[in-house]
Amino acid sequence: MPQSPRVRAQRANTAAVPVLSRPSISSLLPVLPLVLGVAAGAANAQAGAAEQVVIVANRSPQPLSTVLGDLSVLDRVQIERSGAANAAELLARLPGIEFTRNGGPGTSTSLFIRGGESRHTAVYIDGVRVDSQATGGAQWEQIPLEQIERIEVLRGPAAAVYGSDAVAGVVQLFTRRGQGPLQVNASATLGSQRTRQLQAGLSGAAAAFDYALSASHGRSEGEDARSAAALGHNPDRDGWKRSSLQARAGLRLDERQRVEASLLATRLESGYDDFVPGNDDVSAHRLRTGSLSWQARWSEAATTRVQLGRTHTTYETQPSYYRTETTLDNALLQHEQRLGAHRFSATLERRDDELHNPAGVYSAAFGGKRHQNALGLGWRADFGAHTLQAQLRRDEDSEFGGKSTGSLAWGWQFAPQWRLSAAAANSFRVPTLYQRFSPYGNPDLVPESGRNLELGLRWSGAGSEASLGVWRNRMTQLISFGAAGPCGDPFGCYVNVGRAQLQGVTLSARTTLAGVSLHGSLDWHDPKNLDSGKRLPRRAAKLARLGAQTTLAGWTLGAELQASGRRFENAANTQVLGGYELVGVTLSKSLAAGLVLDARLDNLGDKRYELARAYTTAGRSAQISLRWTLP
Instruction: Identify the three-state secondary structure at position 454.
Output: strand
pLDDT digit string (tens) for 341-357? 999 999 999 999 999 99
Q: Read off the amino acid at residue 64.
A: L
Residue 354 lies in a domain: yes
d(CA 246, CA 215): 6
Q: Is the pLDDT of residue 107 over 80?
A: yes
Counting Cα atoms < 13 Å in the Cβ hemisphere of 528 gives: 13
Question: Has residue 197 been placed in a domain?
Answer: yes
Query: Measured between alpha carbons, how far is 496 from 121 in angstroms, rounded to an integer?
Result: 19
Q: What is the mean pLDDT of the chain?
A: 89
Q: Are 588 and 596 in contact (CB under 8 A)?
A: yes
Q: Is residue 5 part of a domain?
A: no
Length of the chain: 631
What is residue 309's predicted lDDT score, i.e. its pLDDT?
98
176/197 Cα distance (integer angstroms): 18
**Is 42 among the domain residues?**
yes
Mean pLDDT score, 396-405: 95
Residue 188 lies in a domain: yes
| Angle, CA of 235, 238 and 239, to the nearest 5° | 150
Give Cβ neighbours of residue 16 (< 8 Å, ≥ 6 apart).
575
Backbone φ and ψ for 231, nearest 5 degrees, come out as -65, 130
Beta strand extents in 320-365 (DSSP E only): 322-339, 342-357
Residue 161: burial class (beta carbons within 10 Å; 0-12, 13-18, 19+): buried
CA 402 – CA 390 distance, rounded (Å) = 20
pTM above 0.95, yes or no: no
pLDDT at 323 over 50: yes
∠ CA 559-564-568, rounded to 5°:
155
Taking residues 584-603, what's their average pLDDT?
Answer: 95
- CATH classification at residue 427: 2.40.170.20
Does any domain span residue 184?
Answer: yes
pLDDT, average across residues 108-134: 96
Q: What pLDDT score was predicted for residue 37?
A: 41
Q: Pick the closest to residue 281 from 612, 1, 570 (CA basis).
A: 1
User: Poorest-confidence range of 159-163, 182-186, 462-466?
Assistant: 462-466
Please indicate, yes or no, if residue 6 is contained in any of the structural domains.
Answer: no
H helical segments located in 359-403? none
Distance, CA of 152 to CA of 56 (rounded, Å): 6
Write the pLDDT tens digit of every residue in 516-560.
999 999 999 999 999 999 999 999 999 999 999 999 999 999 999
Burial of 228 (0-12, 13-18, 19+ CB in 10 A): exposed
Picking from 270, 271, 276, 269, the residue whose alpha carbon sits closest to that of residue 230 is 276
The number of folded domains in the chain is: 1
Question: 284-320 as b/e, with b when 16 or more CB fall inside 10 Å?
Answer: ebbbbbbbebebbeeeeeebbbbbbbbbbbbbbbeeb
Report the pLDDT averaged over residues 165-169.
96
Average the pLDDT over 275-293 and give the result. Answer: 89
More confident residue, 581 or 4: 581
Residue 4 covered by a domain:
no
Which amino acid, 67? V
Q: What is the pLDDT of residue 30?
A: 42
Task: Identify whether the C-beta of residue 458 lies closer than 8 Å to the C-beta of residue 466.
Answer: yes
Q: How far is CA 78 from the centre of its chain?
A: 15
Least confident of 58-67, 204-213, 275-284, 370-379: 275-284
Q: Are 395 and 372 in contact (CB under 8 A)?
A: yes
Whether the Cβ atoms of residue 232 and residue 186 lie closer than 8 Å to each other: no
Low-confidence winner among 45-49, 135-139, 221-225, 351-355 (lowest mean pLDDT): 45-49
Domain hosting 120: range is 17-630
Residues of the chain above pLDDT 90, percent: 79
- Strand order of the β-sheet with 169-175 is 70-74, 148-155, 169-175, 121-125, 128-130
Integer Cα distance of 545 and 566 in angstroms: 15
Nearest to 165 by CA among 125, 126, 127, 133: 133
The answer to whether residues 132 and 117 touch, using CB atoms and an 8 Å cutoff, is no
Instruction: Give the residue among 562, 539, 550, 554 at the shortest CA–CA distance from 589.
Output: 554
Q: Is the dihedral of CA 113, 115, 117, 119 positive or negative?
A: negative
Residues forming a β-bridge with 608: none
- Greatest pairwise CA separation for the chain in angstroms: 69
pLDDT at 497: 86
58-103 per-position pLDDT tens digit: 999 999 989 999 999 999 989 988 878 889 999 999 999 999 999 8
